[in-house]
Structure formats: structure tokens, C-alpha cells
Amino acid sequence: MTGTDIEQVLPPAYELKEPEPEHCPGPESENAGKGNACTGCANQSVCESLPKGPDPDIPAIVENLSNIKHKILVLSGKGGVGKSTFTTLLSWALSTDEDLQVGAMDLDICGPSLPHMLGCSDETVHESSTGWTPVYVADNLATISIQFMLPEDDSAIIWRGSKKNSLIKKFLKDVDWDQLDYLIVDTPPGTSDEHISISKYMKESGIDGALVVTTPQEVALLDVRKEIDFCRKAGIRVLGLVENMSGFVCPNCKGESQIFKPTTGGGKALCEELGIRFLGSVPLDPRIGRSSDQGESFLDTHPDSPASTAVLEVVEALRDEVGDF
């Protein structure tokens, strides 16, 4: 499937004439075109004409996800804290258990990185009578990403909310995962269109919850608070927090340093304050970046490293939190 195909496969999205104004009820909401903010808005006629009522795609989504035991969203307040890296590590770690079937969905539509990190960026998605076949990285690990559909590796995706929503729905209702024990969904940083849409579309299918990734500095933690507030408002359970790039052990002198200093107590203190589970911390290890860049599993290439041990401990805690033991 190529980039041109993806444009054709997605249903025509509506085009807003200008960005949604403040207090916009949402072009797809019941009150679209009828709210106070709609009067005089250039989009009013577009919004009024959009179909109202229950979303007709939800039953198909529920049906397609009905054979997936655990559905986990991976969130972060900021970009660059290691969310996609951790999604990849989590997927590799779960799939080392041969009894588990694992799917990794890349919902970072404008900045997809899972295919590269999972070492399968040259693959494409095939369409069959049962839907889109995800790309298999191992017998029990499959992934889906818009990256597989781009005409060129570095083609930019410049889509407004409605087009993104069409793709998210497509990923949810048409990807043929077969049976999965875990579907791990990597999201873009922050609380944007993709987060609102995925939580809305998956609500009836049941989301186990969200795993939040942060680094120890206060600027990252400030955004984590917003992420957790989003989860509460969207009715998504917070499964716990992972502190990534937490400390660095020099491979030469074995001296430990805190590169990103937890000036306010770091992720652990935040978890205590907010009453959420601290799932563990993963140290900064340059070899994690190298393995990601080469599309290899760091857990395979450096199984005895403190970082691998730390990742596996977080995964155990997460499996415990979703009641998988």
C-alpha cells in the first residue's frame, strides 16, 4: 500500500474553513454548529451539516477489538522523554513470553517512529478480505503505523483532525490483529486530537488504562500532571508512571550521576502525591538509543545491563497492574 492508496482508502474528510475557535463544542459533537461559539464562525455550516447521533463506526471497532485482552495507551506530557522507545521495549519484553501475542499500534501520525525502532520500516501493509494485515516483527509481535503507507520515508503528514480521525478509526476497525493478549498504543506527546479520538473510539471496547512515561525533571513532570488530569477527565485509568532516563551509570568508571536532576523528587514523589503507582525507573543508557536506531531489541542485545533489568521490572509491575498473573 502506498501513500496515494491511503489517501483513497480514507473516507473524504470534512474541511473546516478556519481552525476551531475557543469554546468550540467540536465539529463532531452533538452540538456542532449550535453552540454559543458557533454564531458567526466560518465553520458553522460545515459543522451543522455533519452527521449527528451515535458514531456508526463504534460497533465495528468493538467487534474488531473483541479478541484483544489488554489494551494499553502509552502517554507522555512531553516529546523526547522516551515514550516510543519505551513502547518498543515493552512490546519486545512482552513478546519474549512465547505464550503472549502482542500488537503495537503507532498513533503518532505526524511523527511515527515504531517501525524504525522495531526494525521493520521497509515493510508495507497488505490489504486482504479480512482487513489490513499488520507487519509482523516476530511470530508473536505485530505492528501498524502510517509510516508503512508513506510514499517516501521522510514524507510529511499534514492532516487536520478529521483526516487523522479517519485513519485512527481505520486502524481500530480494519487491522486484522487476530487474537492479542496485549495491544500497546503509542500516542503523540501531550493531549491532542489523537488522544481525544482514541479514548472516545475505544471507550466501548474497554481500555485497561494508560502508562505514563516521563523524565525526572520538573518541566517534564509539570506536563505529566496535565496528562494525568486528561486521563481522569477522559475516564482512563492511570496504570502507573515510568521514569525514563533516570540516572546514568558510567560504563567505564561505574560512577553514578543524575543527568536529569529530579529537583522536586522526580516521578516517585509525584506518584505518591497523586496516588498513582510508580512502575519503576529506567536509567539512561546510550546503547538503548543505538539499539533503537538499528531496530534491534535492546533486551536481546544487552540482556544483562541494569537498563534491561529495570525495563523487565517495569513490565512485571505493569502486568501485575492489569491483572495478568
| Residues contributing to the site for ligand ADP (CB under 6 A) | 76, 79-85, 113, 244-245, 282, 284-286, 288-289, 292
41 is in an annotated binding site: yes
* Residue 231 annotated as part of some ligand binding site: no
Least distance to ligand ADP from the beta carbon of 216, Å? 12
- For every residue of 230-298, DSSP letters joined together read HHHHHT--EEEEEEES--EE-TTT--EE-SS--TT-HHHHHHHHHT--EEEEE---HHHHHHHHHT--H
Sort 85 into a burial class: Cβ within 10 Å, 0-12 / 13-18 / 19+.
Answer: buried
Q: Tell me: is residue 24 an annotated ligand-binding position.
A: yes
Q: Min. distance of Cβ 186 from ligand ADP in angstroms? A: 7
Nearer to ligand ADP, 89 or 125 (CB): 89
Residue 83 labelled as part of a binding site: yes
Nearer to ligand ADP among residue 140 and residue 292 (C-beta): 292
Smallest separation, CB 85 to ligand ADP (Å): 3
Residues whose CB is less than 8 angstroms from the CB of residue 19 and which lie 6 or more positions away in sequence, other chains included: none
In terms of CB distance, is 83 or 173 closer to ligand ADP?
83
User: CA 118 to CA 104: how far, in whole Å?
Assistant: 10
Supply the minimum distance, in Å, between the C-beta of residue 292 and ligand ADP. 4
- Closest approach of ligand ADP to the CB of residue 119, in Å: 14
Between 101 and 244, CB nearer to ligand ADP? 244
- Work out how close the CB of 248 gets to ligand ADP at its nearest, in angstroms, rounded to a whole number: 8
120 is in an annotated binding site: no
Is 81 within any annotated ligand binding site?
Answer: yes
Give the span between the Cα atoms of 280 and 282, in whole angstroms: 7
> CB neighbours of 312 closer than 8 A, spacing ≥ 6?
93, 299
Shortest Cβ distance from residue 284 to ligand ADP (Å)? 4
Closer CB to ligand ADP, residue 197 or residue 292?
292
The arrangement of strands across the sheet holding 180-186 comes to 135-138, 141-144, 102-106, 180-186, 68-76, 209-214, 238-244, 278-282
| Cα angle: 196, vertex 197, 200; to 5 degrees | 85
| Residue of 131, 146, 1 whose CA lies nearest to 67 | 131
- Distance, in Å, from the CA atom of 294 to the CA atom of 310, rounded to the nearest integer, reads 21
First-to-last CA distance in the chain? Answer: 39
User: Would the annotation count 110 as a binding residue?
Assistant: no
79 assigned binding-site residue: yes
Nearer to ligand ADP (CB atom), residue 95 or residue 215: 215
Say if residue 80 carries a ligand binding annotation: yes
Q: Read off the C-alpha cell for 13.
A: 474528510
Q: Decide whether 235 or 286 has the Cβ nearer to ligand ADP.
A: 286
- Measured between alpha carbons, how far is 315 from 74 in angstroms, rounded to an integer? 13
Please report, in range form, the residues annotated as the binding site for ATP: 77-84
Please report, in range form, the residues annotated as the binding site for [4Fe-4S] cluster: 24, 38, 41, 47, 250, 253
Please report, in range form, the residues annotated as the binding site: 24, 38, 41, 47, 77-84, 250, 253
